[in-house]
Structure 1
Amino acid sequence: MNDWPNPFIEQRADPFILLHEDVYYFIASVPEYDRLELRCAVTLEALPQAAPVIVWRKPEHGPMSKLIWAPELHHINGKWYIYFAAAHTQALDKLNMFQHCMFALECADADPLNGKWVEKGQIKTQFESFCLDATTFSHQGKQWYLWAQKDPNIPGNSNIYLAEMDTPWSIKGEPLRLSKPEFEWECRGFMVNEGPAVITHGEKLFVSYSASATDENYCIGLLWINLAADPTKAENWHKSPQPVFTTSYENKQYGPGHNSFTRTKDGEDVLVYHARNYTEIEGDPLYDPNRHTRLKTIGWDNDGMPVFGTPPADHP
């Protein structure tokens, strides 16, 4: 078991770590919400000291000009892609902050930190509504897009959706709603399912997601499906009635969530997430910068289900 420092990287929320060809890449939301940064290292332990490289800055106006949230880095068919959410200047002008859409950037160069990034535009979905936290994964010979979005026709802030990808910046077919906020722990403060992340183990594919408001109520839920089952059929998916990773008052870790998964070089599965170490947030929680990136090794039980455990306390 590894014992990483906690926090692992300070003031980086919505963290995402990709292990690609023996190199670890890190991307996350920055407190200013104005740019996309990448850093890389040969080991996980070296990521906090790795120099961040700004690969894209938001424009002053237009559809990608406000509140750059929750980027992810992926490598698909020999090219790099960054998915991120952004709001339009006009949405803020109308005092309607939360009108985010999803966008994609592409880099055809080998090194994503120094290569050229090209804007591929908005990723269109079934609704023109609040949309964020996209991820992608390869499964059953297809590339899939997994994201959070508000359905204007039902209560709640966001649900989790799945669709097959046509290109790395577009989807095809009818999206499937995998989950909506329905349990009490998903509806504290806000009715939220967001931040999906994918991990496979044994005969199952798992989707973790975050629920409730981004204060100490924030927590992680879990969906799963058999690897051989059709992921486009809602009846093949299962949902845990309880959260799998929650605030630890004893360890002073509040609102653990918005996770991704990576692996150590030894093959251990690692939960990458953010949490605060206090609850007394002054002003809007959105602008509190101290959601720090944290790491925790996860285990597996005899039924092949993940064991997330408890968020460990801060330690150097």
Structure 2
Amino acid sequence: MSKAAAYKNPIMEQRADPFIYKHTDGYYYFTGSVPEYDRIEVRRAKTIQELGTASPVVIWRKYNNGPMSANIWAPEIHYIDGNWYIYFAAAREDAIFDHRMYVLENKSANPLEGHWTEKGQVKTDWESFSLDATTFEHKGERYYVWAQKDPNIAGNSNLYIARMVNPWTIEAPQVMITKPEYDWEKIGFMVNEGAAVLKRNGKIFLTYSASATDANYCMGLLTADESSDLLNIKSWSKSEKPIFQTNEKNGLFGPGHNSFTVSEDGSTDILIFHARHYQEIEGDPLWDPNRHTHAQMISWNEDGTPHFGDPHI
């Protein structure tokens, strides 16, 4: 039995867009959106549960004006070629929802120490609303997946993939792999965002989140064969229904913007996600701070596909 069964949720309160990475040093590293959207924090612990009581270290703060001066969203921490990188989105104080994507680098062995260097904006085909970048390696190539508004497509954001030249630069072509099509992807906003990648059983599974960030927020799934051309939209099949969504009986609402890690004993894949414990929200959901970080085990179907089940505490 995996130790994952012992997780007590929420792992952490008031941390949305949670990202957990288990490093070779035996530590879990955590980052996510803080309610104030004004800084990036990193913390670490030897267990997932202990991340909730670990002391956060502020590694970067927003500027007062200009680029990266408002709404610092959804940081992710990755270890690539011996260095640490944080991917995040930020807007401007004079345009608080006009986000772009940025990268920080740290050459220290421990990312809670040392100096974080700004590597700049990740440039894409358009200067438009873009956010929620993640990265993964496959067959010797590094890929970048993100959400962006195509000026010629209705809606708020679609998901794109491209190869990376280095950890802060992509190369052409950038390829759209999904856009909001089903009703459950278009409630409140037409959104595909928050991608996360899990490679298992000869497949690449890519989860994403859809709709507004209230109780309608939910997760979809894209699947590609590991031998396919990941830059071909035809390589990706898409779930027709949400694979993870609000469960009123269990008291969890709007689960999404997930990441993946593994249990302490390495035996079990763990889904990390945020959710609220109530449905009714006053005002804009973005200013409601109570999206909490949760963890639960993933099981696997006989056909090798992941089974996420229902969100539970």
TM-score range, shorter chain: over 0.9
Q: Deviations over 1:137-157 (max 9, x none)?
A: 001101110000011101110
Shift in Å at residue 265 of structure 1? Answer: 2.7
Amino acid at match of 2:271: L
Equivalent of 1:61, from 65, 72, 76? 65
Query: Using the alignment, how far apart are the partners of 1:290 and 1:72 within structure 2?
Result: 20
Unaligned runs of 5+ in 1: 92-96
Equivalent of 2:82, from 34, 56, 78? 78
Pairwise CA RMSD: 0.8
Q: Quote the residue 2:11 is aligned against.
A: 8
Equivalent of 1:88, from 83, 89, 92? 92
Amino acid at match of 1:67: N
Equivalent of 1:40, from 44, 54, 65? 44
Query: Using the alignment, how far apart are the partners of 1:167 and 1:88 within structure 2?
Result: 26
Query: Using the alignment, how far apart are the partners of 1:43 and 1:284 within structure 2?
Result: 34
Shift in Å at residue 23 of structure 1? Answer: 1.2
Q: Quote the residue 1:220 is aligned against.
A: 219
Amino acid at match of 1:65: S
Query: Using the alignment, how far apart are the partners of 1:82 and 1:254 within structure 2?
Result: 28
Secondary structure of residue in 2 paired with 1:18: strand
Is the counterpart of residue 300 in structure 1 residue 300 in structure 2? yes
Shift in Å at residue 98 of structure 1? Answer: 1.7
Shift in Å at residue 8 of structure 1? Answer: 1.0
Is the counterpart of residue 147 in structure 1 residue 151 in structure 2? no
Query: Using the alignment, how far apart are the partners of 2:231 and 2:36 within structure 1?
Result: 37
Amino acid at match of 2:296: K
Q: Deviations over 1:12-42 (max 9, x none)?
A: 0000000011210000000000000000011
Amino acid at match of 2:259: S
Amino acid at match of 1:295: A
Query: Using the alignment, how far apart are the partners of 2:227 and 2:23 within structure 1?
Result: 25
Paired residues, what number? Answer: 308
Q: Deviations over 1:118-167 (max 9, x none)?
A: 00111000111100000000011011100000111011100000000011
Query: Using the alignment, how far apart are the partners of 2:76 and 2:261 within structure 1?
Result: 13
Q: Quote the residue 1:113 is aligned against.
A: 112
Unaligned runs of 5+ in 2: none
Identity %: 56
Query: Using the alignment, how far apart are the partners of 1:111 and 1:163 within structure 2?
Result: 29
Q: Quote the residue 2:31 is aligned against.
A: 27
Shift in Å at residue 89 of structure 1? Answer: 2.1
Secondary structure of residue in 2 paired with 1:99: strand
Secondary structure of residue in 2 paired with 1:121: strand
Q: Quote the residue 1:94 is aligned against.
A: none
Shift in Å at residue 3 of structure 1? Answer: 3.1
Q: Quote the residue 2:256 is aligned against.
A: 257
Q: Deviations over 1:177-217 (max 9, x none)?
A: 01000001000111000000000111101000000000000
With the length of structure 1 as denominator, give the TM-score of the two structures: 0.96
Query: Using the alignment, how far apart are the partners of 1:265 and 1:228 within structure 2?
Result: 30
Shift in Å at residue 249 of structure 1? Answer: 0.9
Query: Using the alignment, how far apart are the partners of 2:238 and 2:310 within structure 1?
Result: 20
Is the counterpart of residue 201 in structure 1 residue 204 in structure 2? no
Superposed structure 1 runs of 4+ greater than 3 Å apart: none
Q: Quote the residue 2:272 is aligned against.
A: 272
Q: Quote the residue 2:173 is aligned against.
A: 174
Secondary structure of residue in 2 paired with 1:46: helix
Q: Deviations over 1:241-263 (max 9, x none)?
A: 11100100111110000000000
Amino acid at match of 2:125: Q
